[in-house]
Amino acid sequence: SDYWVNDALGLPFFVVSKPLAEGLGAAILEDIVPQLIEQVPGQPAEAELAADPCQYRFVMIFDREGASHSLLSALWEQRVAAITYRKRVGENWSETEFSEVEVTHPGGQVTRMRLASRMSELTSGKQSIPVLEVRRLSENGHQTAIITTAMRLKTPEIAARMFSRWCQENFFAYMMEHYDLDGLVQYGVEEIPGTKQVVNPAWRRLDQQIRTLRAQLRREQARLGTHVIKVEALDAQAQGERLLEIQRMDEEIEVLKVKRREVPRKVSLDELSEEDRPSQLRPLGKMFTDTIKMIAYRAETSMVGLLRPHLTKEEEARALIRELFVSSADLRPSKEDNTLHVRVHRMASPVHDRAIHALLEALNEQNFHHPETEMKILYTLS
């Protein structure tokens, strides 16, 4: 499993690759947070954290897979705040609690949302952690629930950060569609030491069957309940058949649970059959391509930022940058003044020409030099 860490705009910081993964929570606590505590700038000093019980080092945003009491509590012990979706939303809040507010996203886009907030708790047995719950009311009446331990953030800020998390997917989709970097490297595999403990595939298969049956059982129970309370209720025979199906599912779940108890949850790799035993990609080639992906995307995004004042849409700016990368250019070195003139051929439209001209002027202001010849690079649009 790969765990990518991106900033609020979707730009990648680093990636953690684990051939044997224990899940998102373990990766965050063991591999990601230690790096972030070491590298994230502008963190409050220890004295500030000690003086203010609500102060935090920084805020992490992740999907509902990590929305557990254990993870949020473990993060807060290190004074790391979190924003995530709530797993079990519960009853809807009254629509009178919601008000329409202006929400400014990290990239600068402004939208309007109907939001409400309450103090709440995330519990596990007798343990609990206080959280601020923010809900968004959609036009169709659906309520999306967000929880956070970052109590200092205002409701619109929390919504903006959570609903902007999708920009991370832009990185993955974009790099796969436009840069087939994985296809440039021939991967090999190598064995993982046999003493490593992993989740038993047999236990996992039984667990998945139980989860699937439970979901089907809940749907059947919901259908039966809906029909019973409606005026046009099912006839007695149909209700009986549905009850028998629910009973059959209950019995099948119990049988599977007994089988699951008889199977060890974790085993060493040496105990697995050949077809169940995993291998890992050779790390050097994978690390190389992951690094190039991050550098390429960050560099391109920086150039897109220079184009944005001259074009209306980010998608248009990215398309124009891709066109620039494959367009023709004349290279004219000059030993007299130690310069390399890069004359880029014109684009398909005057609007794009003006945008590219502005981009090249901005690049010239950076005073780039060729890494080998030390020639100053000057860009022009011919």
Would you say residue 229 has pLDDT above 60? no
211 and 68 together in one domain: no
Could you tell me if residue 184 is inside a domain?
Answer: no
Residue 3's pLDDT band, with cuts at 50, 70 and 90, is confident
28 and 98 together in one domain: yes
CA distance 257 to 259: 5
Angle at 22 between CA 216 and CA 180, to 5 degrees: 90
Domain termination residue (choose one: 178, 213, 231): 178
**For a pLDDT cut of 90, what percent of the chain falls above it?**
43
Report how far apart, in Å, the C-alpha atoms of 275 and of each of 42, 175, 187, 271 are. Answer: 49, 31, 20, 12
Residue type present at position 130: P
- Structural domain count of the chain: 3
68 and 207 together in one domain: no
Residue 235's pLDDT band, with cuts at 50, 70 and 90, is low
- Mean pLDDT taken over the chain: 85
CB atoms within 10 A of CB 372: 6
pLDDT (0 to 100) of residue 171: 67
82 and 212 together in one domain: no
Would you say residue 252 has pLDDT above 50? yes
The closest of 147, 116, 110, 114 to 132, measured between CA atoms, is 147
CB 82 within 8 A of CB 66: yes
CA distance 57 to 59: 7
pLDDT digits (tens, 9 = 90+) for 270-281: 787 777 776 665
44 and 123 together in one domain: yes
Domain termination residue (choose one: 144, 178, 212): 178
Domain termination residue (choose one: 232, 253, 277): 277
Residue scoring higher pLDDT (1 or 369): 369
pLDDT (0 to 100) of residue 95: 93
232 and 296 together in one domain: no
Angle at 16 between CA 12 and CA 21, to 5 degrees: 140
320 and 209 together in one domain: no
Could you tell me if residue 85 is inside a domain?
Answer: yes
Residues present in the chain in total: 382
What's the average model confidence in pLDDT over 332-351? 92
144 and 223 together in one domain: no
Residue 231's pLDDT band, with cuts at 50, 70 and 90, is very low
pLDDT (0 to 100) of residue 180: 57
Strands ordered across the beta sheet of 329-334: 329-334, 339-344, 376-381
Could you tell me if residue 187 is inside a domain?
Answer: no
Lowest mean per-residue pLDDT among 87-96, 189-198, 295-304, 348-357: 189-198
**For a pLDDT cut of 70, what percent of the chain falls above it?**
86
What's the average model confidence in pLDDT over 287-295? 80
pLDDT digits (tens, 9 = 90+) for 309-338: 898 887 888 889 888 988 889 999 999 999
pLDDT digits (tens, 9 = 90+) for 104-145: 988 778 899 999 999 999 888 888 899 999 999 998 889 999
66 and 197 together in one domain: no
pLDDT digits (tens, 9 = 90+) for 136-188: 999 888 999 999 999 999 999 999 999 888 766 666 666 666 665 555 555 55
67 and 97 together in one domain: yes
223 and 301 together in one domain: no
Domain that holds residue 373: 283-381
88 and 159 together in one domain: yes
Which letter, b or e, does each residue of 89-110 get, where b requires 16 or more Cβ atoms within 10 Å of its Cβ?
eeeebeeeebeeeebebeeeee
pTM: 0.63
Q: From the centroid of its chain, how far is CA 143?
A: 21
Rg of the chain in Å (alpha carbons): 27
